[in-house]
């Protein structure tokens, strides 16, 4: 509401012809707001100045209730909030009031001060399962508070062989080379304000076993005939074939050619990969005849 100032008596005494507008009206402030309405500050870290804006008449004074967290202050004439918080404070509402002789307006800010020491330390994957001889996807941590300066493993513990903890980032990387049962590892994160720990459960599984299914080829075969052997591995990986030296056959591009009378021994193999152990070799024998049919 606009406040009116009486100037009638003054005009009568000095003979003014028309009242000055500056003396007639004063608008109250309105639409108070701040550059940051919800702020999560960190203990011991100076904050960016939080500056107000408003409309209406010029503000003569600002106030806030309840008092700001220890270390922060409100400039009573400009309304700017500055400082370095020194005490952890939960999120809470703070009402800032801007006023002049004609009235006031207010707004509510939400402010918290977090601990500067690391806390809420967690890993992107926990528990985590690895496979022997397979390079792992780096497992990285996150935490609250100021940035972590160093990460370390409990003095009495050692990660599975082939894995390492990066002391700067806290990431666990590498290629485990030995299987290891599920173990909980205590990871420590530390900075100038303090430290925290987190337990990370880790398992390194051995390579999986696989077998080959290689049905016996129909026998006998005649010299000059060919055979495309068929076999499958339980892993789903491709099976390769070979024949020994001095056999009654040869092999090229997966096709067996029967070249002489006798026995042809065909070996089926699957060498494994980063997840699977090699499969036990499976061998089938085919009789080869130089006689006339019946050949199979």
- The answer to whether 82 touches 36, Cβ cutoff 8 Å, is no
Please report where in the chains the tokens 């020491």 appear, as a residue.
117
- Is the full-model pTM beyond 0.75? no
Give the HSE-up count for residue 55: Cα atoms under 13 Å, Cβ half-sphere: 2
Q: How many CB atoms lie within 10 A of CB 65?
A: 11
Residue 132 lies in a domain: yes
CA distance 80 to 64: 11
Residues 223 and 183 in one domain: no
CA distance 239 to 250: 17
Residues 75 and 18 in one domain: yes
Could you list the mean pLDDT of each consecutive 10-residue stretch along the chain, which spans 296 residues? Answer: 39 45 73 97 94 97 97 97 95 97 97 94 96 93 95 95 98 96 97 95 92 92 93 97 89 93 94 90 93 68
Residues 12 and 99 in one domain: yes
Residue 296 lies in a domain: no
The domain boundary, picked from 205, 237, 266, lies at 205
* Tens of pLDDT, residues 57-94: 999 999 999 999 999 999 999 999 999 999 999 999 99
Range of the domain at 21: 3-114
> 41: buried, middle or exposed (CB in 10 Å: 19+, 13-18, 0-12)?
buried
Residue 109 lies in a domain: yes
Residues in contact with 135: Cβ distance below 8 Å, sequence separation at least 6, in sequence order: 174, 175, 274
CA distance 280 to 267: 10
CA dihedral 146, 171, 202, 205 (to 10 degrees): 170
Q: What angle do CA 266, 267, 268 make, to 5 degrees?
A: 120
Q: Region of 288 please: left (phi>0), alpha (psi -120 to 50) or beta.
A: beta
Q: What is the CATH number of the domain that holds 193?
A: 2.60.40.10
Q: Which residues pair with 109 in a beta bridge?
A: 94
* Tens of pLDDT, residues 12-57: 434 444 444 444 478 999 999 999 999 999 999 999 999 999 999 9
> 274: buried, middle or exposed (CB in 10 Å: 19+, 13-18, 0-12)?
exposed
Residue 295 lies in a domain: no
The domain boundary, picked from 61, 82, 114, lies at 114
Q: What angle do CA 57, 59, 61 make, to 5 degrees?
A: 155
CA distance 252 to 193: 70
Residues 14 and 102 in one domain: yes
Q: How many domains does the chain have?
A: 3
Closest to 287 in 3D by CA, of 256, 255, 257, 265:
265
CA distance 175 to 138: 10
């Amino acid at each position: 509401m606009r406040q009116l100032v009486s100037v009638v008596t003054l005009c009568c005494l000095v003979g003014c012809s028309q009242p000055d507008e500056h003396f007639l009206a004063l608008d109250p402030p309105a639409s108070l707001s701040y550059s940051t309405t919800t702020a999560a500050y960190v203990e011991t870290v100076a904050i960016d100045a939080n500056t107000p804006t408003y409309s209406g008449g010029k503000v003569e004074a600002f106030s806030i209730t309840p008092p700001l967290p220890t270390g922060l202050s409100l400039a009573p004439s400009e309304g700017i909030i500055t400082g370095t918080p020194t005490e952890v404070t939960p999120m809470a509402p703070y009402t800032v009031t801007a006023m002049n002789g004609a009235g006031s307006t207010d707004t509510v800010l939400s402010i918290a001060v977090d601990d500067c020491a690391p806390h809420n330390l967690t890993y992107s994957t926990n528990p985590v399962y690895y496979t022997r001889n397979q390079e792992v996807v780096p497992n990285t941590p996150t935490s609250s508070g100021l940035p972590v300066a160093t990460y370390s493993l409990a003095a009495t513990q050692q990660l599975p062989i082939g894995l390492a903890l990066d002391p700067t980032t806290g990431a666990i990387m590498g290629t485990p080379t030995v299987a290891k049962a599920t173990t909980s590892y205590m990871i420590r994160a530390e900075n100038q304000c303090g430290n925290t720990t987190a337990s990370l459960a880790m398992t390194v599984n051995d390579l999986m076993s696989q077998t080959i299914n290689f049905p016996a080829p129909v026998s006998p075969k005649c010299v000059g005939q060919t055979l495309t052997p068929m076999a499958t591995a339980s892993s789903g990986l491709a099976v390769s074939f070979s024949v020994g030296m001095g056999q009654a056959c040869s092999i090229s591009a997966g096709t067996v050619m029967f070249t002489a009378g006798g026995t042809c021994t065909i070996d089926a193999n699957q060498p494994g990969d980063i997840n699977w152990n090699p499969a036990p070799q499976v061998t089938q024998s085919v009789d080869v005849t130089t006689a006339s049919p019946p050949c199979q």
